[in-house]
Amino acid sequence: MAGRALKFEFTTAARIAFGFAAVEEVAPAAAGLGHRALIVTGGSGRYSGLLAEKLAAQGVSSVAFRVRGEPTVGVIDEGAKKARDASCDLVVAVGGGSVIDTGKAVAAMITNRGELLDYLEVVGRGRPLTARPVPCIAVPTTAGTGTEVTRNAVIGVPEHRVKVSLRSPLMLPVLAVVDPGLTLTLPAPVTAATGLDALTQLVEAFTSCRANPLTDGICREGIMRVGRSLRPACRDGSDRRAREDMALAGLFGGLALANAGLGAVHGLAGPLGGTTGGAHGAICARLLPYVMEANLRALVKRSPESGAIARYAEVAGLVTGSPRARAEAGIEWVSELCRELAVPGLEELGLKKSELAEVAAMSLRASSMKSNPVELTEKEILEILRKSL
């Protein structure tokens, strides 16, 4: 942000391969990283058989591990045990954000002994990983989470009714393969939820108090691509240009959040996900316009000199295509997009009115709140939740 001395770092996956047919690079790359792979996929097991054949042709044997739903402590423990028992020295995760988060966490727990709770933040002991995870190749099949280039994995802890992160610089995948062709068959609701998750991450990283010139450029490019391509991708999943734009936006969101942080949407999304079991992308989509509105109001009232106010106006210009758009126009654009894409309310996702206060209190402890452009009060957070019902 303007007015402060620059100091930042930028880290990401060791290598990123992007483009249609980039998935063909997975097996040759795996051959140089290990001898026996744990293939992590979604519940359907799609891609597992074909990938196993391609790995075998490169001299890499494999075992499969399917993830049904979002990862929990139990899922990670199960995957790590299976990998250790099979002597896996490599993880290849092909799927949505939940699959890739599982792959990253399992790769870490193969080499770091003890309980997963030893390393989890907020509800765990928060100890740092000390052993380097086995190499992990991340191949997203959705366009939104960007977890293929981040250093954390979001994991549900059912007994605490919350989702928290396993976080370490050591968890960055050695290779992220982003192939827009893998998203061509995504149904419209998944395209919408993951695309709005990408937009949320880009907007939050762009307005974060940790934003820097490198992430700024990435965010501007990503926000512009969502603005022009999320609707077309939802209307026609075979639109290759739209799919390419959204795959880039998802990747850029991951690059940005890993280096500039997030904000109140994600601060709330963790406890909401743990409380309701709702999909992360849908929760973020529902919260985004109301958090933007609350942040802008609080900034104007309490920090009128903040550069984040101008950034919200810039977001408006990027999504509407009008450089002179006011910040409020950006909020209305996002609100209208959410209505058009039929984003469900939090009650529909499983939140009870009686749980609002508990969720608000838990969100204040979330790490993402630290990089929100303005400190929101518990009263303001409760208002966001009420509007999002």
pLDDT at 159: 86
Fold of 188-388: Dehydroquinate synthase-like, alpha domain (1.20.1090)
The predicted pLDDT at position 4 comes to 63
pLDDT of residue 328: 96
**pLDDT confidence of residue 375:** 96
Q: Taking the chain (389 residues) in consecutive chunks of 10 residues, what is each chunk's mean pLDDT?
A: 72 93 97 97 89 97 93 96 97 96 97 92 88 97 95 90 89 97 94 95 97 97 97 97 98 96 95 88 94 97 95 97 94 96 94 94 90 96 97
| Residues forming CATH 1.20.1090.10 domain(s) in the chain | 188-388
pLDDT at 230: 97
Per-residue model confidence (pLDDT) at position 208: 97
Q: Can you give the pLDDT at residue 377?
A: 95
Q: Which fold has domain 16-183?
A: Rossmann fold (3.40.50)
SS3 per-residue string spanning the chain: CCCCCCCCCCCCCCCEEECCCHHHHHHHHHHCCCCEEEEEEECCCCCHHHHHHHHHHCCCEEEEEEECCCCEHHHHHHHHHHHHHCCCCEEEEEECHHHHHHHHHHHHHHHCCCCHHHCECCCCCCCCCCCCCCCEEEEECCCCCCHHHCCEEEEEEHHHCEEEEEECHHHCCCEEEECHHHHCCCCHHHHHHHHHHHHHHHHHHHHCCCCCHHHHHHHHHHHHHHHHHHHHHHHCCCCHHHHHHHHHHHHHHHHHHHHHCCCHHHHHHHHHHHHHCCCHHHHHHHHHHHHHHHHHHHHHHHCCCCCHHHHHHHHHHHHHCCCCCCHHHHHHHHHHHHHHCCCCCCCCCCCCHHHHHHHHHHHCCCHHHHHCCCCCCHHHHHHHHHHHC
* Residue ranges of the chain that CATH labels 3.40.50.1970: 16-183
Residue 278: per-residue pLDDT: 86
